[in-house]
């Protein structure tokens, strides 16, 4: 069995250290290009990557000896999982490694929005002392709807438990998951009860552009919208329209339909989005803390160790 792993992106050194303890030979090449990866991939039985390029059919076909694709993160939308699995390749990821980071980041965004912290800070820095205009709202007593109850959704519910809120959750692919942190409900109940809605779902053909004008229309109350999953699940134009009408009170967006510059500046909706005082933006960093950088690699290494008997078949 070939026991070489190509680390084709920036992973914490602990990943390489742990795999070498398991008997693998790891080549750490975080700067490698897609073109060079295609050339050398037949030498490897595994590849580890974050987001640098798509692990598509071309890459998978080039990896004639591939047995494992390791994605250092939660989402698998940059890996053609179905095709990889059809070739007998194991696909692993590490949502357990950044779930604390994501939940803490989104709660931080939520508290900032509720208490007008960004606006208040800017005004004080500019000599404006406006207590009444920056009066906040308390989180306690509100109903938070978590959409998607996987690793990140579950951790969001757990961390909200100390705030005196009611947490409800909807997951299209799960049932029977009510626990001490959350009550499972239908989507019909979500749109009736939610004061805050937080998205923790993967990007798939079903979820792309899920949050559009029709989706938002059904909410009975004005809501705060939070998204730390994938930007493409949200139609930004629809969110902006809902912000203008008051259907959305405020939005905390760690992810956007289009990310990075200069592409972001070229979007027709970006000017309005960045100038909206009730929108808080961050550059897709909710799951990217100093701690999660290490934990993600530790989780991946542990999953490799579990796979070893199957890799030897």
Q: Give bridge partners of residue 6 from the DSSP assignment.
A: 27, 47
Active-site entry in 81, 104, 184, 259: 259
Phi-psi region of 302 (alpha: psi -120 to 50; beta: other; left: phi over 0): alpha
- Output the 3-class SS for the chain: CCCEEEECCCCCHHHHHHHHHCCCEEEECCCCCHHHHHHHHHHCCEEEECCCCCECHHHHHHCCCCCEEEECCCCCCCECHHHHHHCCCEEECCHHHHHHHHHHHHHHHHHHHHCCHHHHHHHHHCCCCCCHHHCCCCCCCCEEEEECCCHHHHHHHHHHHHHCCEEEEECCCCCCCCCCCCEECCHHHHHHHCCEEEECCCCCCCCCCCECHHHHHCCCCCEEEEECCCHHHECHHHHHHHHHHCCEEEEEECCCCCCCCCCHHHCCCHHHHHHCCCEEECCCCCCCCHHHHHHHHHHHHHHHHHHHHHHCC
Rg of the chain, C-alpha, whole Å: 21
Active-site entry in 12, 230, 232, 257: 230
Examine the residue annotation and report whether 10 is marked as an active-site residue of this protein.
no
Q: Answer for the pair 94, 71: CB distance below 8 angstroms, yes or no.
A: yes
Active-site entry in 189, 284, 298, 302: 284
Examine the residue annotation and report whether 284 is marked as an active-site residue of this protein.
yes
Examine the residue annotation and report whether 166 is marked as an active-site residue of this protein.
no
Catalytic residue ranges? 230, 259, 284
């Amino acid at each position: 069995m070939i026991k070489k792993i190509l680390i084709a992106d920036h992973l914490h050194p602990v990943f390489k250290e742990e795999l070498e303890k398991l008997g693998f030979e790891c080549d750490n090449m975080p700067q490698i290009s897609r073109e060079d990866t295609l050339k050398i991939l037949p030498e490897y039985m595994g590849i580890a990557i974050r987001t640098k390029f798509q692990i598509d059919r071309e890459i998978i076909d080039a990896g004639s000896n591939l047995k494992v694709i390791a994605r250092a993160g939660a989402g698998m939308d940059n890996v053609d999982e179905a095709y990889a699995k059809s070739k007998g390749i194991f696909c692993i990821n590490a949502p357990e490694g950044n779930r604390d980071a994501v939940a803490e980041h989104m709660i931080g965004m939520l508290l900032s929005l509720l208490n007008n912290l960004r606006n208040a800070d800017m005004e004080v820095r500019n000599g404006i002392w406006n207590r009444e205009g920056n009066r906040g709202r308390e989180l306690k007593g509100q109903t938070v709807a978590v959409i998607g109850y996987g690793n990140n959704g579950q951790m969001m519910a757990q961390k909200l438990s100390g705030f005196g809120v009611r947490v409800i959750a909807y997951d299209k692919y799960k049932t029977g998951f009510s626990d001490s942190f959350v009550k499972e409900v239908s989507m019909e109940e979500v749109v009736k009860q939610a004061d805050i809605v937080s998205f923790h779902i993967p990007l798939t053909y079903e979820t792309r552009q899920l949050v559009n004008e029709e989706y938002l229309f059904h909410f009975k109350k004005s809501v705060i919208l939070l998204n730390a999953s994938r930007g493409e699940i949200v139609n930004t134009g629809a969110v902006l329209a809902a912000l203008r009408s008051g259907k959305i009170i405020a939005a905390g967006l760690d992810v956007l339909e289009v990310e990075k510059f200069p592409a972001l500046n070229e979007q027709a909706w970006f000017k309005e989005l960045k100038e909206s005082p009730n929108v808080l933006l961050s550059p897709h960093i909710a799951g990217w803390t100093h701690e999660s950088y290490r934990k993600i690699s530790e989780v991946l290494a542990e999953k490799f160790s579990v796979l070893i008997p199957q890799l030897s078949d």
